[in-house]
């Protein structure tokens, strides 16, 4: 398949990448840009592990064509905080023990980020609803919910 050059804005940087028309955003961020924090656990839109933010909205990057991500601000887990700094959600996930194997963590954090962006004080039910598309097999979600709730 022919590749075409595409301009993507990822984590605040404009990047030029050569993509095939059927390349997903997940493939491009992982393979072309080396942003391996975005995880693939199913590849078919059923687990949320590949969640990234597009214009601040969570999208499943395994179901999003890279071509459809042009002229949009894409944020991956690597772009949530700069350098050694952490976003308060990341800090909270660490402190509350919300991370076990960590494979669901990047997608979970980005989903929670969007929730907290539109609602500073979500209640427990709202948090659970918001992350219900993100599967975690390790934690039973309890500490994840606590961690999100604790972000002030």
Partner 1 sequence: MKEYRLIGKRLPRIDARDKVKGRALYTDDISMPGMLYGLILRSPYAHAKIVKIDTSRALKLPGVKAVVTGEDTAKVKFGVISRSRKFIDEYPLAVDKVRFIGEEVAAVAATDPDAAMEALDLIEVEYQELPAVFDPEEAQKPGAPQIHEHAPGNISREHHMKKGDPDRAFKECDLVREDTFTTQSAIHAYMEPRAALASWDLTDKLMVYTSTQTPYYVQQHLGRTLGMNPDNIRIIKPFVGGGFGGKSDGLSAVEFSAALLSKHAGRPVKIVCSRDEEFTAARRKHPASITMKTGVKKDGTIVARQSRAILDGGAYCSLGPLTTVLMGTFQTLPFRFEHFQYDGYRIYTNKPPCGAMRGHGGPQVHFAQDAQLDMIAEELDLDPVEMALKNGLKTGDESAAGFKIVSSGFAECLRKVSEAADWQDKKRTEKNDPKKAYGIGLGCGGFPSGAGFYFNKTTSAHSSVIIKAGEGGGLSVLTGASDIGQGSDSVVCQIVAEVLGLPIEDIHITSADTEITPPDMGTYSSRVTVAAGNAALNAAKAAREALFKVVADKFEASPDDLLAEEQKIFVKGSPEIYTSFVDAVNLYQKKNQGSPLVVKGSYNSPDPLSPTYSFGAYICEVEVDLRTGELTVLRYTVGHDCGQPLNPMSVEGQIEGCISMGMGYAISEDLRFDGGQTLNPSFLGYAMPTANQMPKIEITHVVTDDPHGPFGAKETGEGSLDPVAPAIVNAVYNATGVRIKDLPITSGKILQGLKDKDR
Of the candidate spans 8-16, 87-95, 122-130, 135-143, the one that interacts with ligand FES by CB under 6 A turns out to be 135-143
Residue 18 near partner 1 by CB under 8 A: no
Q: Say which entry of partner 1, ligand FES, none residue 62 contacts (CB below 5 to 8 A, set by partner kind).
A: ligand FES
Query: Which of 61, 142, 147 has its CA nearest to residue 109?
Result: 147
Binding test (CB under 6 A) with ligand FES, winner from 9, 15, 41, 67: 41
Residue carrying structure tokens 């500490």: 143
Among 37, 50, 51, 122, binds partner 1 (CB under 8 A): 37
Note whether 28 and 15 are within 8 A (CB): no
- Report the Cα 133 to chain-centroid distance in Å: 12
Q: How many CA atoms within 13 Å lie on the side-chain side of 121?
A: 0
Sole residue written with tokens 């023990």: 97
Of residues 119 through 138, those in contact with partner 1 by CB under 8 A are: 125, 127-129, 131-138
In the complex, the residues that contact ligand FES under the rule CB under 6 A are 40-43, 45-50, 60, 62, 99-105, 136-139
């Amino acid at each position: 398949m022919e590749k075409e050059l595409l301009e993507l804005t990822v984590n605040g940087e404009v990047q030029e990448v050569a993509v095939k028309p059927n390349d997903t955003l997940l493939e491009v961020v992982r393979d072309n840009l080396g942003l391996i924090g975005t995880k693939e656990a199913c590849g078919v839109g059923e687990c949320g592990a590949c969640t990234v933010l597009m214009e601040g909205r969570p999208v499943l990057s395994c179901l999003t064509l890279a071509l459809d991500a042009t002229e949009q601000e894409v944020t991956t887990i690597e772009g949530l905080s700069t350098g050694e700094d952490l976003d308060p959600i990341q800090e909270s996930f660490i402190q509350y023990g919300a991370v076990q194997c960590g494979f669901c963590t990047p997608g979970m954090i980005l989903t929670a980020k969007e929730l907290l962006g539109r609602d500073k004080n979500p209640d427990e039910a709202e948090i659970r609803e918001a992350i219900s598309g993100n599967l975690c097999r390790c934690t039973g979600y309890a500490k994840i919910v606590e961690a999100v709730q604790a972000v002030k």
